[in-house]
Amino acid sequence: MKCRALITVLAVAGAAAGLGGCAAELPARPRTDVFVDSAFKPPSVSIDVQQALALTPEMRQFADTEMAREIRLKGMRDGLIDALYTKGRLQLDYDAEVTRTAGEAFAARRGNCMSLVLMTATFARYLGLPVRFNSVFLDENWTRAHNIFFVAGHVNISLERPRSNTVHHAVFGDPELLTIDFLPPSEMRSQRSRVIDESTILAMFLNNRAAEALTVGQVDDAYWWARAAIETDSRWLAAYNTLAVLYRRKGLSGQAESTLRLVLEREPLNTQAMSNLILVLSDAGRQAEAQAYANQLAQIQPVPPYKFFDEGVAAMKAGEFATARQLFRKEVARAAYVPEFHFWLGLANWGLGDVPGARGEIAKAMENSATVKDRQLYGAKLAWLNELRDQQRRKVPLTAGPGS
Protein backbone atom coordinates (compact mmCIF):
# COMPACT_ATOMS: atom_id res chain seq x y z
CA MET A 1 0.00 0.00 0.00
CA LYS A 2 1.37 3.40 -0.97
CA CYS A 3 0.90 6.00 1.71
CA ARG A 4 -0.76 8.72 -0.32
CA ALA A 5 -2.95 10.67 2.05
CA LEU A 6 -1.79 12.46 5.11
CA ILE A 7 -4.13 15.32 5.71
CA THR A 8 -7.75 14.93 4.80
CA VAL A 9 -8.99 18.40 3.99
CA LEU A 10 -12.73 18.77 3.72
CA ALA A 11 -13.65 20.11 0.33
CA VAL A 12 -16.20 20.24 -2.43
CA ALA A 13 -13.57 20.99 -5.05
CA GLY A 14 -9.78 21.40 -5.28
CA ALA A 15 -7.47 23.46 -3.14
CA ALA A 16 -5.11 26.15 -4.36
CA ALA A 17 -2.82 28.15 -2.11
CA GLY A 18 -1.02 31.41 -2.88
CA LEU A 19 2.45 32.02 -1.50
CA GLY A 20 3.77 35.50 -0.87
CA GLY A 21 7.33 36.74 -1.24
CA CYS A 22 9.71 36.54 1.67
CA ALA A 23 10.56 40.24 1.52
CA ALA A 24 6.98 41.36 2.05
CA GLU A 25 5.66 42.18 5.49
CA LEU A 26 3.95 39.15 7.00
CA PRO A 27 0.16 39.54 6.81
CA ALA A 28 -1.92 39.51 9.94
CA ARG A 29 -3.41 36.18 10.94
CA PRO A 30 -6.97 35.54 9.75
CA ARG A 31 -9.76 36.47 12.12
CA THR A 32 -10.95 33.95 14.67
CA ASP A 33 -14.26 35.68 15.46
CA VAL A 34 -16.11 33.25 13.21
CA PHE A 35 -17.47 30.84 15.79
CA VAL A 36 -21.16 30.23 16.59
CA ASP A 37 -20.92 27.93 19.61
CA SER A 38 -24.61 28.26 20.47
CA ALA A 39 -25.61 26.46 17.26
CA PHE A 40 -23.81 23.23 18.24
CA LYS A 41 -24.16 20.76 21.08
CA PRO A 42 -21.18 20.28 23.40
CA PRO A 43 -18.66 17.75 22.09
CA SER A 44 -19.25 14.12 22.99
CA VAL A 45 -15.50 13.47 23.21
CA SER A 46 -12.60 15.22 24.89
CA ILE A 47 -10.78 17.56 22.52
CA ASP A 48 -7.26 18.05 23.84
CA VAL A 49 -4.69 18.94 21.22
CA GLN A 50 -1.84 18.09 23.60
CA GLN A 51 -2.79 14.42 23.37
CA ALA A 52 -1.67 14.35 19.73
CA LEU A 53 2.01 14.34 20.75
CA ALA A 54 1.69 12.83 24.24
CA LEU A 55 4.04 10.00 25.25
CA THR A 56 2.11 7.10 26.83
CA PRO A 57 3.59 4.75 29.46
CA GLU A 58 3.64 1.96 26.86
CA MET A 59 5.61 4.16 24.47
CA ARG A 60 8.06 5.07 27.22
CA GLN A 61 8.63 1.40 28.03
CA PHE A 62 9.24 0.60 24.36
CA ALA A 63 11.72 3.47 24.08
CA ASP A 64 13.57 2.35 27.19
CA THR A 65 13.84 -1.29 26.05
CA GLU A 66 13.46 -2.19 22.36
CA MET A 67 14.51 1.21 21.10
CA ALA A 68 17.39 1.49 23.55
CA ARG A 69 18.90 -1.73 22.22
CA GLU A 70 18.74 -0.49 18.64
CA ILE A 71 20.23 2.87 19.66
CA ARG A 72 23.21 1.21 21.34
CA LEU A 73 23.95 -0.68 18.13
CA LYS A 74 23.17 1.96 15.50
CA GLY A 75 23.12 5.38 17.12
CA MET A 76 20.26 7.63 18.14
CA ARG A 77 18.53 8.38 14.85
CA ASP A 78 19.07 5.09 13.04
CA GLY A 79 18.17 3.17 16.17
CA LEU A 80 14.89 5.04 16.52
CA ILE A 81 13.94 4.47 12.89
CA ASP A 82 14.86 0.79 12.89
CA ALA A 83 13.01 0.16 16.15
CA LEU A 84 9.83 1.73 14.75
CA TYR A 85 9.78 0.65 11.13
CA THR A 86 11.89 -2.49 10.74
CA LYS A 87 9.95 -5.70 10.16
CA GLY A 88 9.74 -7.83 13.28
CA ARG A 89 9.48 -4.85 15.63
CA LEU A 90 6.21 -2.90 15.67
CA GLN A 91 5.04 -4.21 12.27
CA LEU A 92 3.05 -1.04 11.67
CA ASP A 93 0.19 -1.16 9.20
CA TYR A 94 -1.01 1.77 7.12
CA ASP A 95 -4.65 2.62 7.86
CA ALA A 96 -6.25 5.93 6.84
CA GLU A 97 -9.70 5.23 8.27
CA VAL A 98 -9.07 7.51 11.26
CA THR A 99 -6.35 9.94 12.29
CA ARG A 100 -4.81 8.67 15.52
CA THR A 101 -2.75 10.42 18.15
CA ALA A 102 0.82 9.24 18.67
CA GLY A 103 -0.28 7.03 21.54
CA GLU A 104 -3.26 5.61 19.66
CA ALA A 105 -1.13 4.78 16.62
CA PHE A 106 1.41 3.01 18.82
CA ALA A 107 -1.27 1.02 20.66
CA ALA A 108 -3.07 0.02 17.46
CA ARG A 109 0.17 -0.59 15.53
CA ARG A 110 -1.39 1.26 12.62
CA GLY A 111 -2.12 4.75 11.41
CA ASN A 112 -2.17 7.10 8.45
CA CYS A 113 0.85 9.22 7.56
CA MET A 114 -0.16 12.00 9.94
CA SER A 115 -0.41 9.53 12.80
CA LEU A 116 2.97 7.99 12.00
CA VAL A 117 4.60 11.43 11.82
CA LEU A 118 3.14 12.33 15.23
CA MET A 119 4.32 9.03 16.74
CA THR A 120 7.83 9.43 15.31
CA ALA A 121 8.04 13.00 16.62
CA THR A 122 6.92 11.96 20.10
CA PHE A 123 9.60 9.28 20.36
CA ALA A 124 12.24 11.59 18.92
CA ARG A 125 11.53 14.29 21.47
CA TYR A 126 11.62 11.78 24.31
CA LEU A 127 15.11 10.81 23.14
CA GLY A 128 16.20 14.44 22.79
CA LEU A 129 16.28 14.50 19.00
CA PRO A 130 15.21 17.83 17.48
CA VAL A 131 12.44 17.41 14.90
CA ARG A 132 11.21 19.39 11.93
CA PHE A 133 7.78 19.02 10.34
CA ASN A 134 7.48 19.47 6.56
CA SER A 135 4.53 20.03 4.26
CA VAL A 136 5.20 18.30 0.93
CA PHE A 137 3.86 19.63 -2.36
CA LEU A 138 2.18 16.82 -4.29
CA ASP A 139 -0.37 16.71 -7.06
CA GLU A 140 -3.87 17.09 -5.64
CA ASN A 141 -5.22 13.75 -4.40
CA TRP A 142 -9.01 13.41 -4.28
CA THR A 143 -11.30 10.99 -2.51
CA ARG A 144 -15.04 11.03 -1.89
CA ALA A 145 -17.11 9.54 0.94
CA HIS A 146 -20.80 10.01 1.69
CA ASN A 147 -21.02 12.70 -1.01
CA ILE A 148 -18.26 14.72 0.65
CA PHE A 149 -15.07 15.43 -1.29
CA PHE A 150 -11.66 15.37 0.36
CA VAL A 151 -8.39 16.64 -1.02
CA ALA A 152 -5.38 14.98 0.56
CA GLY A 153 -2.12 16.64 1.42
CA HIS A 154 1.12 15.17 2.69
CA VAL A 155 3.56 15.82 5.51
CA ASN A 156 6.78 14.18 6.63
CA ILE A 157 9.29 14.63 9.42
CA SER A 158 13.01 15.36 9.58
CA LEU A 159 15.27 14.45 12.48
CA GLU A 160 18.35 16.46 13.33
CA ARG A 161 21.51 15.15 14.92
CA PRO A 162 21.42 14.93 18.70
CA ARG A 163 22.49 18.19 20.26
CA SER A 164 25.53 17.97 22.50
CA ASN A 165 25.79 20.09 25.63
CA THR A 166 29.57 20.13 25.17
CA VAL A 167 29.52 22.12 21.93
CA HIS A 168 30.52 25.73 22.54
CA HIS A 169 30.93 27.04 19.01
CA ALA A 170 28.28 28.37 16.67
CA VAL A 171 26.99 26.23 13.82
CA PHE A 172 25.94 28.10 10.69
CA GLY A 173 23.28 26.65 8.44
CA ASP A 174 21.02 23.70 9.16
CA PRO A 175 22.46 20.64 10.89
CA GLU A 176 22.43 17.45 8.84
CA LEU A 177 18.83 16.28 8.55
CA LEU A 178 17.41 12.82 8.09
CA THR A 179 13.93 12.92 6.59
CA ILE A 180 11.46 10.11 7.19
CA ASP A 181 8.69 9.82 4.66
CA PHE A 182 6.00 7.25 4.01
CA LEU A 183 5.90 7.59 0.24
CA PRO A 184 8.06 5.45 -2.06
CA PRO A 185 11.44 7.15 -2.77
CA SER A 186 10.60 7.34 -6.48
CA GLU A 187 7.63 9.60 -5.70
CA MET A 188 9.60 11.86 -3.37
CA ARG A 189 12.67 12.63 -5.50
CA SER A 190 11.13 15.51 -7.41
CA GLN A 191 8.88 16.82 -4.65
CA ARG A 192 9.37 20.13 -2.90
CA SER A 193 8.50 20.83 0.69
CA ARG A 194 8.39 23.65 3.20
CA VAL A 195 8.95 23.67 6.93
CA ILE A 196 5.81 24.10 9.04
CA ASP A 197 5.35 24.94 12.71
CA GLU A 198 4.19 22.45 15.31
CA SER A 199 1.02 24.53 15.63
CA THR A 200 0.30 23.91 11.94
CA ILE A 201 0.78 20.14 12.17
CA LEU A 202 -1.55 20.11 15.17
CA ALA A 203 -4.15 22.18 13.30
CA MET A 204 -3.96 19.68 10.46
CA PHE A 205 -4.51 16.85 12.94
CA LEU A 206 -7.56 18.59 14.42
CA ASN A 207 -9.00 19.35 10.99
CA ASN A 208 -8.59 15.69 10.06
CA ARG A 209 -10.63 14.76 13.11
CA ALA A 210 -13.29 17.30 12.10
CA ALA A 211 -13.53 15.85 8.60
CA GLU A 212 -13.71 12.31 9.93
CA ALA A 213 -16.45 13.23 12.41
CA LEU A 214 -18.49 14.86 9.64
CA THR A 215 -18.07 11.80 7.44
CA VAL A 216 -19.87 9.66 10.04
CA GLY A 217 -22.56 12.29 10.67
CA GLN A 218 -21.19 13.74 13.92
CA VAL A 219 -21.72 17.36 12.90
CA ASP A 220 -21.53 18.82 16.40
CA ASP A 221 -18.27 17.06 17.25
CA ALA A 222 -16.89 18.11 13.86
CA TYR A 223 -17.56 21.75 14.74
CA TRP A 224 -15.52 21.59 17.93
CA TRP A 225 -12.62 19.84 16.19
CA ALA A 226 -12.60 22.49 13.45
CA ARG A 227 -12.90 25.26 16.03
CA ALA A 228 -9.90 23.87 17.90
CA ALA A 229 -7.92 23.69 14.64
CA ILE A 230 -8.49 27.39 13.96
CA GLU A 231 -7.60 28.32 17.53
CA THR A 232 -4.41 26.24 17.30
CA ASP A 233 -3.24 27.85 14.05
CA SER A 234 -5.51 30.28 12.27
CA ARG A 235 -3.17 30.32 9.27
CA TRP A 236 -4.35 26.80 8.31
CA LEU A 237 -7.23 27.93 6.11
CA ALA A 238 -8.56 24.43 5.40
CA ALA A 239 -10.17 24.48 8.85
CA TYR A 240 -12.17 27.58 7.89
CA ASN A 241 -13.47 25.73 4.85
CA THR A 242 -14.48 22.83 7.10
CA LEU A 243 -16.22 25.25 9.43
CA ALA A 244 -18.15 26.77 6.52
CA VAL A 245 -19.33 23.32 5.41
CA LEU A 246 -20.60 22.69 8.94
CA TYR A 247 -22.42 26.03 9.03
CA ARG A 248 -24.14 25.16 5.76
CA ARG A 249 -25.18 21.80 7.23
CA LYS A 250 -26.75 23.68 10.14
CA GLY A 251 -28.55 26.15 7.86
CA LEU A 252 -26.33 29.06 8.93
CA SER A 253 -25.83 30.39 5.41
CA GLY A 254 -24.72 33.86 6.50
CA GLN A 255 -21.96 32.48 8.69
CA ALA A 256 -20.96 30.01 5.98
CA GLU A 257 -20.65 32.78 3.40
CA SER A 258 -18.65 35.14 5.61
CA THR A 259 -16.25 32.32 6.58
CA LEU A 260 -15.66 31.36 2.95
CA ARG A 261 -15.13 34.97 1.92
CA LEU A 262 -12.50 35.24 4.67
CA VAL A 263 -10.62 32.38 2.98
CA LEU A 264 -10.97 33.97 -0.46
CA GLU A 265 -9.63 37.27 0.88
CA ARG A 266 -6.45 35.41 1.76
CA GLU A 267 -6.39 33.04 -1.22
CA PRO A 268 -8.51 34.35 -4.12
CA LEU A 269 -7.94 31.17 -6.17
CA ASN A 270 -8.82 28.70 -3.40
CA THR A 271 -11.14 26.38 -5.32
CA GLN A 272 -12.37 24.65 -2.17
CA ALA A 273 -13.76 27.89 -0.79
CA MET A 274 -14.97 29.01 -4.20
CA SER A 275 -16.95 25.86 -4.92
CA ASN A 276 -18.49 25.88 -1.45
CA LEU A 277 -19.42 29.53 -1.86
CA ILE A 278 -21.22 28.63 -5.11
CA LEU A 279 -23.37 26.20 -3.14
CA VAL A 280 -24.11 28.73 -0.40
CA LEU A 281 -25.08 31.43 -2.92
CA SER A 282 -27.24 28.96 -4.84
CA ASP A 283 -29.00 27.98 -1.61
CA ALA A 284 -29.87 31.64 -1.09
CA GLY A 285 -31.20 32.03 -4.64
CA ARG A 286 -28.39 34.39 -5.64
CA GLN A 287 -27.89 32.68 -8.97
CA ALA A 288 -26.10 35.51 -10.76
CA GLU A 289 -23.37 35.67 -8.09
CA ALA A 290 -23.13 31.89 -7.98
CA GLN A 291 -22.74 31.71 -11.76
CA ALA A 292 -19.98 34.33 -11.73
CA TYR A 293 -17.96 32.18 -9.33
CA ALA A 294 -18.86 29.05 -11.30
CA ASN A 295 -17.43 30.62 -14.45
CA GLN A 296 -14.23 31.53 -12.64
CA LEU A 297 -13.99 28.04 -11.14
CA ALA A 298 -14.46 26.43 -14.56
CA GLN A 299 -11.41 28.32 -15.83
CA ILE A 300 -9.30 27.16 -12.89
CA GLN A 301 -10.66 23.61 -12.78
CA PRO A 302 -12.21 22.68 -16.15
CA VAL A 303 -12.72 19.00 -15.26
CA PRO A 304 -14.01 18.54 -11.69
CA PRO A 305 -12.91 15.51 -9.64
CA TYR A 306 -14.97 12.34 -10.19
CA LYS A 307 -16.59 13.72 -13.38
CA PHE A 308 -15.50 10.78 -15.56
CA PHE A 309 -16.19 8.34 -12.74
CA ASP A 310 -19.79 9.46 -12.29
CA GLU A 311 -20.35 9.29 -16.04
CA GLY A 312 -18.81 5.82 -16.05
CA VAL A 313 -21.14 4.59 -13.32
CA ALA A 314 -24.11 5.92 -15.31
CA ALA A 315 -22.85 4.04 -18.37
CA MET A 316 -22.49 0.86 -16.32
CA LYS A 317 -26.09 1.14 -15.15
CA ALA A 318 -27.14 1.47 -18.80
CA GLY A 319 -25.14 -1.65 -19.71
CA GLU A 320 -22.69 0.34 -21.84
CA PHE A 321 -19.56 -1.40 -20.57
CA ALA A 322 -17.21 -0.24 -23.34
CA THR A 323 -18.12 3.41 -22.76
CA ALA A 324 -17.82 2.92 -18.99
CA ARG A 325 -14.37 1.37 -19.36
CA GLN A 326 -13.18 4.32 -21.43
CA LEU A 327 -14.46 6.79 -18.82
CA PHE A 328 -12.97 4.88 -15.88
CA ARG A 329 -9.64 4.74 -17.69
CA LYS A 330 -9.70 8.55 -17.97
CA GLU A 331 -10.29 8.88 -14.24
CA VAL A 332 -7.53 6.39 -13.42
CA ALA A 333 -5.17 8.28 -15.74
CA ARG A 334 -5.43 11.39 -13.58
CA ALA A 335 -5.98 9.78 -10.15
CA ALA A 336 -4.51 6.29 -10.07
CA TYR A 337 -4.32 6.36 -6.26
CA VAL A 338 -8.13 6.05 -5.82
CA PRO A 339 -8.99 2.36 -5.33
CA GLU A 340 -12.64 2.91 -6.25
CA PHE A 341 -11.65 3.88 -9.79
CA HIS A 342 -9.67 0.69 -10.28
CA PHE A 343 -12.49 -1.42 -8.83
CA TRP A 344 -15.10 -0.01 -11.20
CA LEU A 345 -12.72 -0.32 -14.13
CA GLY A 346 -12.41 -3.95 -13.11
CA LEU A 347 -16.21 -4.29 -13.14
CA ALA A 348 -16.34 -2.78 -16.63
CA ASN A 349 -13.71 -5.29 -17.78
CA TRP A 350 -15.80 -8.04 -16.22
CA GLY A 351 -18.88 -6.84 -18.11
CA LEU A 352 -16.88 -7.05 -21.35
CA GLY A 353 -15.73 -10.59 -20.58
CA ASP A 354 -12.15 -9.53 -19.82
CA VAL A 355 -11.59 -11.55 -16.65
CA PRO A 356 -7.77 -11.04 -16.54
CA GLY A 357 -8.32 -7.30 -16.92
CA ALA A 358 -10.86 -7.39 -14.09
CA ARG A 359 -8.43 -9.25 -11.86
CA GLY A 360 -5.62 -6.80 -12.61
CA GLU A 361 -7.67 -3.72 -11.76
CA ILE A 362 -9.12 -5.15 -8.56
CA ALA A 363 -5.58 -6.10 -7.51
CA LYS A 364 -4.64 -2.43 -8.03
CA ALA A 365 -7.67 -1.38 -5.98
CA MET A 366 -6.43 -3.55 -3.14
CA GLU A 367 -2.88 -2.18 -3.48
CA ASN A 368 -4.08 1.44 -3.28
CA SER A 369 -6.60 0.94 -0.48
CA ALA A 370 -6.07 3.30 2.43
CA THR A 371 -7.90 1.30 5.13
CA VAL A 372 -7.73 -2.25 6.41
CA LYS A 373 -11.47 -2.62 5.77
CA ASP A 374 -11.10 -1.72 2.09
CA ARG A 375 -8.11 -4.01 1.64
CA GLN A 376 -10.17 -6.88 3.06
CA LEU A 377 -13.10 -6.03 0.77
CA TYR A 378 -11.05 -5.85 -2.43
CA GLY A 379 -9.02 -8.83 -1.32
CA ALA A 380 -12.21 -10.88 -1.11
CA LYS A 381 -13.23 -9.79 -4.61
CA LEU A 382 -9.80 -10.65 -5.95
CA ALA A 383 -9.90 -14.05 -4.26
CA TRP A 384 -13.26 -14.70 -5.92
CA LEU A 385 -11.83 -13.88 -9.36
CA ASN A 386 -8.80 -16.07 -8.71
CA GLU A 387 -11.15 -18.88 -7.75
CA LEU A 388 -13.17 -18.24 -10.90
CA ARG A 389 -10.02 -18.50 -13.00
CA ASP A 390 -9.14 -21.81 -11.39
CA GLN A 391 -12.71 -23.10 -11.78
CA GLN A 392 -12.81 -22.12 -15.43
CA ARG A 393 -9.57 -23.97 -16.01
CA ARG A 394 -11.26 -27.05 -14.58
CA LYS A 395 -14.52 -26.23 -16.43
CA VAL A 396 -16.51 -26.06 -13.18
CA PRO A 397 -19.36 -23.45 -13.10
CA LEU A 398 -19.37 -20.74 -10.44
CA THR A 399 -22.14 -18.29 -9.56
CA ALA A 400 -22.20 -14.70 -8.24
CA GLY A 401 -20.06 -11.83 -9.46
CA PRO A 402 -17.42 -9.46 -8.09
CA GLY A 403 -19.92 -6.66 -7.60
CA SER A 404 -22.26 -8.72 -5.42
The tens digit of pLDDT for each residue in 203-230 reads: 999 999 999 999 899 999 999 999 999 9
> What's the CA angle centered on 66, arms 63 and 71, to 5 degrees?
75
**266-293 pLDDT per residue, tens:** 889 888 899 899 999 999 999 999 999 9
Residue 252 pLDDT greater than 80, yes or no:
yes
pLDDT (0 to 100) of residue 229: 95
Contact 296, 277 (CB under 8 A): no
Q: Average pLDDT, stretch 343-357?
A: 91
CA 221 – CA 234 distance, rounded (Å): 19
Residue with the bigger pLDDT between 3 and 108: it is 108
pLDDT (0 to 100) of residue 20: 28
The sign one gets for the Cα dihedral 269, 305, 222, 217 is positive
Q: Average pLDDT, stretch 92-118?
A: 87
Class for the domain spanning 307-387 = mainly alpha
What residue spans define the domains of the chain? 7-16+31-163+173-216, 307-387
* Mean of pLDDT over the chain: 80
**126-143 pLDDT per residue, tens:** 999 999 898 876 656 656
Please tell me whether the overall predicted TM-score, pTM, comes out greater than 0.85 for this model. Answer: no
Contact 339, 51 (CB under 8 A): no
Quote the distance between the C-alpha of residue 109 and its chain's center.
19
Topology annotation, domain 7-16+31-163+173-216: C8orf32 fold (3.10.620)
- Choose among 372, 348, 342, 377: nearest CA to 360: 342
